[in-house]
Amino acid sequence: MIIKTNKDEFLDYLHDAANIRGDSEQLYIPETGTELSQLIRKLYADKTAFTISAKRTGLVGSAVPQGSVLISTEKLNRIKKIDIAEKTISVEAGVLVADIQTALFAEGFFYAPDPTEENSSIGGNIATNASGAKSFKYGATRNHVLELEIILPDGEELHLKRGMCVAEGYKLRLTTSSGQNRNLILPEYPLPYVKNTAGYYVKKNMDAIDLFIGSEGTLGVITAAKLKIIPIAYHNFSAVLFFPKEEDGLEFIKKAVEKTAVSRENNDPRGINPRAIEYFDSNALKYASGDYPNIPSGLGCAVWIEQELSAEDEDILLSEWYSLFLKFKVDVDKIWVATDRTEEKKIAAFRHSLPARVNEYIAKNNFRKIGTDVAVETKDFRKFYFKIKEMTRQTGLDFVTYGHFGDSHIHLNMLPKNEREFEVARANYDAICRLAIKYNGTVSAEHGIGKTKRHLLLGMFGLPNLKKMALLKMSFDPHLLLNPGNIIPPEIFESLS
C-alpha cells in the first residue's frame, strides 16, 4: 500500500480531464485487491468518506475528491487472462483500455467500446458505461461486460455473472462472498429512449450486473471484470468525407442510418452497416486544420464512417458506399481513405485530436470544460441541432461541434476567452441541456453526471424520482461515504433525513 499525505506529491490526482478541481489530504494506492478491500472496510468502519480514482480522464468530476480521502486503483493493472475460445478477456480495474487493445490485437481481437481517451482505465469505463465511435454498431460498455468483482461500500465483496442474478420484477437479492444477503426494492422511473448515462439504470427484471455499470462508483467499487472481445475483421473501410454544405452531410448521415437499419433487420452481411458514423462541423475542421493542414478549405462539414469488411463482400460494399457518396455531393477526389492499419490509426487519431485540443485549450486558460453530451431522439435531431447551434452563435462565443451523429449525440464545445465568456458559456450549456430534456432526450449520453451535472437531473427526472435514486444509493451506503457528491445533489439526501 502506497500512502501519500504531502499534497504536493499528488496534485495531479486532484483534477480531471475537464480541469474540474478538488481537494484531499490523503491518497491511498493499494497494490492488490485484498489491500483495497481491507482499506475500504476500515474507512467505512471509521465513517471516513472516500473517493475512487484511476486515470482521471472523466469530464464531470466523478473521480475528483471534495475533501474526502482519495483511493487510486491504478496499481490493480493486471490482464489476468485472454480466452480465445470463449472470446473473453479478464482484467483488473486499473488496466488501461489502450493496454487491453494492444494485448488483444496480438491475438487477432479487439474490445469494441472505443472511448476517445484510450488511457482511461477499464474500471472507470465500466463505472461510467463509457462508449465512443464504435458504439453506433456495438453499443456502450454495458453490452460487453460479462462478470464483475465489486467491493461494496462497507467492504463486503460481490461477484456477479451476467444471467446468474436477475431481479424478480423490481425485487433483487444480492449475495456477498461471505454469504450475506442484501434484499433490494429497485425504484421505478422512466428512462429516455436515447443513448443515456444520466442517473441509475434500473428496469423490471434487470440483471444485477447492470445496476453497477454506469453507477459512477456510488454503489460499489469495481475491482475486476470479464469482458467480451471481437475478432478483427479482414479489412476496415475507414474514410473521412468532406461536404460543401452542412445539409449535405446531415442528409448523408440520415440515409446511412436508414440503410444500416435495413441491413441489421435483414441480417445482411453485404449491406451498409458501419460501426462508426462521426460528424465534424466547419468550425471543428478549422480548429483541427493547425494539426491537419491537408483538410480542404471552405467546407460545410465532414463525416467519418468506418465499416468492417470480409474478403468476399469487400467489392460489393465499397460499391454501395461510393454510390451513396455520389448521391450526396461528396468530392471523391478529396476523401481520406485508409488503405491499411496504419492509415486507419491516422484517421482515428484525427477524430480523437479534436477533444484533445479542446481539453488542452481549457487547461491552458484554466477554465472548466464547457461541452455538451446531449442526445435526443432521431426524429427530433435535425431541428434540435440547428436550434442549439443558433443559440450558441447568438452568444458570440467561439465553439466547435462534433459527435456521434449516427446516435443523434452531440458534443458542442464552447471556447471562452475570459471569465465573462465562461459564465455566458455555462448559462448557454444549461439552456442546451434544458432543451434536450424538453425533447425527451438526455443531458448525458456517455460522460455521466458526476458532480457538475447534478443540478440538471431534477429537470430530467423530477424530484420524486431523484428521491428514489437517493434511497437506492442509501440502501448500499447509508452513511454516504463512497464517492460522495456523485450523481445525486446533496439537498436530495437532506430532504430525506
Residue that is last in its domain, among 43, 72, 101: 72
Residues 6+ apart with CB under 8 A from 345: none
Look up the pTM and report it.
0.95
Residue 245, pLDDT score: 93
309 and 273 part of one domain: yes
The CATH number of the domain holding residue 105 is 3.30.465.10
Could you report the per-residue pLDDT of 325-347, keeping only the tens digit for each? 999 988 888 999 997 888 988 99
The answer to whether residue 348 is domain-embedded is no
3-class DSSP state for residue 442?
A: strand
Residue that is last in its domain, among 231, 260, 285: 231
57 and 126 part of one domain: no
84 and 226 part of one domain: yes
Task: Look at the block and give the residue holding cell 448515462.
Answer: 197
Pair 202, 214: CB distance under 8 Å: no
Residue 18, pLDDT score: 86
Residue that is last in its domain, among 171, 202, 231: 231
- Low pLDDT (below 70) residues in the chain: none
Residue 247, C-alpha cell as written in the block? 445539409
The answer to whether residue 300 is domain-embedded is yes
Residue 276, pLDDT score: 95
Residue 197, pLDDT score: 96
The answer to whether residue 291 is domain-embedded is yes
291 strand-pairing partners:
none
Q: How far apart are the first and last CA of the chain?
A: 36
Query: Sign (positive/negative) of CA torsion 316, 317, 321, 324?
Result: positive
Cα distances (angstroms) measured from residue 485 to each of 310, 332, 473, 475, 495:
48, 50, 11, 16, 15
The CATH number of the domain holding residue 278 is 3.30.70.2190
Q: Return the CA Rg of the chain.
A: 22
How many domains does the chain divide into? 3
105 and 221 part of one domain: yes
The answer to whether residue 359 is domain-embedded is no
The CATH number of the domain holding residue 20 is 3.30.43.10
Residue 131, pLDDT score: 93
Chain CA centroid to CA 315, Å: 34
94 and 136 part of one domain: yes
Reference 63, options 114, 379, 54; nearest CA is: 54
222 and 85 part of one domain: yes
The answer to whether residue 52 is domain-embedded is yes
Pairing of strands 69-72, 27-29: parallel
Residues 6+ apart with CB under 8 A from 52: 63, 71, 73, 127, 217, 221, 482, 483
120 and 216 part of one domain: yes
Residue 394, C-alpha cell as written in the block? 447568438
The answer to whether residue 411 is domain-embedded is no
Residue 450, pLDDT score: 96
Residue 333, pLDDT score: 85
153 and 62 part of one domain: no
Residue 25, C-alpha cell as written in the block? 489530504
24 and 47 part of one domain: yes
108 and 31 part of one domain: no
Could you report the per-residue pLDDT of 389-412, keeping only the tens digit for each? 999 999 999 999 999 999 999 999
The answer to whether residue 375 is domain-embedded is no
Residue 429, pLDDT score: 97
The answer to whether residue 475 is domain-embedded is no
Could you report the per-residue pLDDT of 217-249, keeping only the tens digit for each? 999 999 999 999 999 988 899 999 999 999 999
- Give the H/E segment covering residue 389: helix 378-395
Range of the structural domain that residue 32 is part of: 2-72
107 and 210 part of one domain: yes
86 and 227 part of one domain: yes
